[in-house]
């Protein structure tokens, strides 16, 4: 963030004028820096240990009309398999796509009208594909999984399609993993930010296939750098993330409360049962 007040650069110790540099947190300590002096955080090196990151995982992502997963309508989705095989769905949600959603993912009303599948048909295929992954105990990787999982769960119910057995699913969420291994991280942690940190390629942010591919690679990269994460059985890792997310959500809630933001953070993972506050 831009420095509001003047101060001395923590790197070169020269004066930094107000509004001309940055305030950044390094190891939990906030300091002022010139723009060119901000330390670059480097991820831990990859180890030679084995683990679930050597096994097949499938990346999953979807894009929707709204940020609230229980209200959004899915407009695109993708599953990216470890051999590179990608299944993509362009979905006509049957409702107008808000301009801010189009600005984010680039999908327009015209695109879904002319090239999209009817929502019920596309979602039936997507649900069947994920049901098979769940039955096969194949880990499903989704970044900030509660949005994707809850949105799909809600959409399947909306269209009268069979529900997925999320209690049997193995979900890996790189966002939760990162917060667990980097508890003193105070910077941005969107998918693109973490991909840069963990040296993962993100070709086209907010494209479902690109995000799904990057999420899977990000999960593998985190496990390759943190043996204690990699050595956990995928089903045990899923259960651990439920507890980790609760702790992380409560910390975020405390931060929101201190700032008087009036937001409610869900502690449920990966499936939310109530609308977000």
Q: Is residue 208 part of a domain?
A: yes
Residue 268 and residue 65: Cα distance in Å, rounded?
22
Q: Using CA atoms, how far apart are residues 14 and 242, in angstroms rounded to an integer?
A: 46
Tokens of 93: 């949600």
Classify residue 6: in a domain, yes or no: yes
**pLDDT over 90 (residue 38):** no
Residues 32 and 68 in one domain: no
Tell me, yes or no, whether 277 lies in a domain.
Answer: no
Split into its structural domains, the chain has a count of 2
pLDDT value of residue 113: 98
Does residue 9 lie in a domain region?
Answer: yes
State the CB neighbour count (10 A cutoff) for residue 128: 12
- Scanning the chain, the segments in alpha helix (DSSP H) are 99-105, 109-115, 119-135, 145-158, 174-181, 191-197, 208-225, 227-230, 234-258
Are 24 and 60 in the same domain? no
> Where residue 140 sits, what CATH number does that domain have?
3.30.420.10
Per-residue pLDDT, 207: 98
Strands (E), 15-85: 15-16, 22-26, 29-33, 58-64, 74-80
Strand, coil or helix: 78:
strand
pLDDT range class, residue 1, cuts 50, 70, 90 = confident
Mean pLDDT over each residue of the chain, to the nearest integer: 96
pLDDT for residue 39:
86
- 213 assigned to some structural domain: yes
77-136 pLDDT tens trace: 999 999 999 999 999 999 999 999 999 999 999 999 999 999 999 999 999 999 999 999
pTM of the model: 0.91
Residue with tokens 């959409």: 155
* 9 plus 62 within the same structural domain: no
Share of the chain above pLDDT 70, in %: 100
Say if residue 80 is in the same domain as residue 187. Answer: yes
Residues 128 and 22 in one domain: no
Q: Which domain holds residue 21?
A: 1-40
Report helix, strand or coil for 19: coil
Instruction: Flag whether 116 is in a domain.
Output: yes
Contacts 24+ apart (CB under 8 A), 12-16: 12/37
In a domain, 269, yes or no: no
Residue 221 included in any domain: yes
Establish whether the linkage from the previous residue to 270 is cis, with ω within 30° of 0: yes
């Amino acid at each position: 963030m831009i420095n509001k007040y003047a101060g001395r650069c923590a790197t070169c110790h020269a004066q930094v004028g107000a509004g001309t540099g940055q305030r950044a947190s390094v190891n939990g300590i906030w300091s002022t820096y010139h723009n060119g002096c901000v330390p670059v955080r480097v991820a831990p090196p990859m180890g030679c240990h084995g683990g679930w990151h050597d096994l097949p995982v499938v990346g999953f992502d979807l894009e929707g009309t709204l940020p609230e997963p229980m209200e959004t309508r899915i407009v695109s989705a993708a599953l990216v398999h470890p051999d590179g095989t990608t299944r993509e769905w362009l979905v006509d949600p049957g409702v107008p796509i808000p301009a801010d959603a189009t600005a984010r993912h680039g999908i327009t009303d015209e695109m879904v009208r002319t090239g999209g599948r009817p929502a019920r048909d596309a979602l039936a295929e997507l649900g069947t594909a994920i049901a098979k992954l769940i039955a096969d105990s194949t880990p499903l990787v989704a970044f900030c999984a509660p949005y994707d999982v809850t949105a799909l769960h809600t959409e399947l119910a909306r269209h009268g399609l069979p529900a997925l057995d999320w209690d049997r699913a193995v979900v890996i969420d790189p966002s939760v993993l990162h917060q667990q291994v980097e508890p003193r991280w105070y910077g941005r942690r969107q998918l693109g930010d973490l991909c840069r940190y963990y040296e993962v390629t993100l070709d086209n942010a907010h494209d479902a296939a690109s995000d799904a591919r990057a999420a899977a690679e990000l999960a593998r990269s985190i496990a390759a750098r943190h043996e204690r994460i990699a050595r956990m059985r995928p089903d045990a890792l899923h259960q651990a993330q439920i507890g980790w997310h609760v702790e992380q959500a409560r910390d975020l809630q405390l931060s929101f409360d201190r700032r008087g933001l009036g937001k409610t953070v869900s502690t449920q993972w990966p499936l939310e049962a109530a609308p977000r506050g």
